[in-house]
Amino acid sequence: MTTAEMKAAACAAIDRNADKIIALGESIYREPELGYKEFKTSAKIKAALDEIGFEHQDGVAVTGIITPVKGRYHKVNLAIMGELDAVVAPSHPFADPVTGAAHSCGHFAQAASVIGVAYALKESGVMNELDGDITLMHVPAEEFVELAYRKELIEKGTVKLLGGKQEFIRLGVFDNVDMMIMQHTRTTEGDDPNPIKADAGGTGMGFIGKMIQYIGKESHAAAPSQGINALKAAQIGLAAIDANRETFQDKDTIRVHPIITKGGDLVNVVPADVRLETYVRGLSVDAVLDASAKVDRALQAGAYAMGAKCIITQLPGYIIPYESEELKDVVYDNLKYVFGEDRCKRNGGGGSTDASDVSVIMPVVHMNIGGAKGIGHSPDYVVTAPELAYLAAAKTLVCTAIDLLANGAEKALYVKSNFKAPMTKEEYLTKWCNLEKGKDF
């Protein structure tokens, strides 16, 4: 088969199974689940893979599913990823009445579009023609939410990292993977009657989260000399952060935005337990790490000044995305193939996502494909064009895969040989995630 014939056969298989792909997506949409709790969602994906006849590994990072599909040769392994989790938007029409979870970020469409890719790979016969393997991945917990619950999971040893892709990296899921592509559903509604429908993604900010506890010593508020005031320590810490702001450089767009979540226990007791949370955001890893170290130093200064204790829990947030221009070229070619040259663009927006964490160790494209209307993470977010959100998304993913892996996998090998990873997996885990190097990973 020529590449064109393979793409035509794959897209035809997606069209033949359109009803099933859309029904799966709609079913997930109506039963939203939050990160690391996507058990019903995971069961639906597994049932679809069973029907297709693809063997898969489940329970990866609690609810994740890995589906390896072998090509004719094994020169490259391409991951095609979709997410499983919802966000909290209790007034969304299909919000879970108990948890408030709602699919107002489009991850249900991602999950179903990867099943669309599975139908295409199974029924089109392209795997007998491709010179690389494809690993379909359904990943949990993209949204950085329910931090207290996820910290419980960490304390129980269920996971070690808060984001699903971060945990996939730690578990070694990507160890035999060379590159990854995925898509996120975006809004296409607007004033333009024929809007841009897709883009190949772009840069965004990264962040580190911190939970801070100041421990002082209680005493009667009328006898403060017998206590240690943890609130005063926190105030000095916050002032010391502010004093450091003039050292942050404009080009790095550092944002530090602490809040006090507990200021004391009783007004007539010297505060001995004060809690803060903050993010440290920025446009480069080094700048975020540099600012993060200054914030830690400032927070500790408050404790030192008062003779209190400061415990800082680092929560590795999502790293700054690193782009592979060569992989983006192949994705853009296939966006043009599916949507038409004037209905897509090469560079688009990129928010904070843990797909960025994968992008520092291998080539990644996190594209955006239309089909939704409303504001993301809000109650009015709905898919209005299923032929885009589910079907065109699946076609773009599979056609990109065909382009990469056809003809001796020459395009994938070109992408791989031109990619200089900013970090190794070990550097990512130790430098960014603050995990001690050891037998855990």
The answer to whether the beta carbons of residues 7 and 337 sit under 8 Å apart is yes
Distance CA 282, CA 277 (A): 17
User: What number of CA atoms fall less than 13 Å from residue 432's CA on the CB side?
Assistant: 32
Distance in Å from the first CA to the final CA of the chain = 42
To Zn ion, the closest distance from the beta carbon of 425 in angstroms equals 24
Which parts of this chain interact with Zn ion (CB under 5 A)? Answer: 105
- CB 107 → Zn ion: shortest distance, Å? 6
Residues 6+ apart with CB under 8 A from 201: 321, 323, 328, 347, 348, 349, 350, 365, 366, 367, 368
- Both tokens assigned to 405: 């892996």
Closest distance of CB 365 from Zn ion, Å: 16
Q: Select 105 or 398, whichever has its Cβ closest to Zn ion.
A: 105
Q: Which residue is nearest to Zn ion (CB)?
A: 105
- Beta carbon of residue 76, minimum distance to Zn ion (angstroms, whole number): 27
Residue 297: partners with Cβ closer than 8 Å, 6 or more residues away: 240
Q: How far is the CB of 374 from Zn ion (least distance, A)?
A: 13
* Nearer to Zn ion among residue 49 and residue 105 (C-beta): 105
Is 324 or 353 the residue whose CB approaches Zn ion more closely? 353
**Do 389 and 372 form a contact (C-beta atoms < 8 A)?**
yes
| Minimum CB distance to Zn ion smaller for 105 or for 392 | 105
Assess contact for 160 and 141: CB atoms under 8 A.
no
CA-nearest of 399, 330, 408 to 131 is: 408
Please report how close the Cβ of residue 126 comes to Zn ion at its closest, in angstroms. Answer: 29
Q: Which is nearer to Zn ion, 104 or 300 (CB)?
A: 104
d(CA 372, CA 198): 12
Q: Kindly state the smallest distance separating residue 200's Cβ from Zn ion, in Å.
A: 17
Specify the residue, 105 or 212, whose C-beta has the smaller distance to Zn ion. Answer: 105
132 Cβ contact list (under 8 Å, min separation 6): 71, 73, 74, 75, 76, 77, 78, 404, 405, 409, 412
User: Within its chain, how far is the Cα of 163 from the centroid?
Assistant: 7
Nearer to Zn ion, 105 or 299 (CB): 105
Shortest distance (Å) from residue 402 CB to Zn ion? 26
- Of the two residues 198 and 291, which places its CB atom closer to Zn ion in the complex? 198
Token code pair at residue 93 = 């029409």
Task: Dig out the tokens for 132 from the structure.
Answer: 């690389």
Closer Cβ to Zn ion, 105 or 137, answer by number: 105
Q: How far is the CB of 185 from Zn ion (least distance, A)?
A: 8
411/143 Cα distance (integer angstroms): 32
What is the rounded distance in angstroms from the CA atom of residue 400 to the CA atom of residue 389? 17
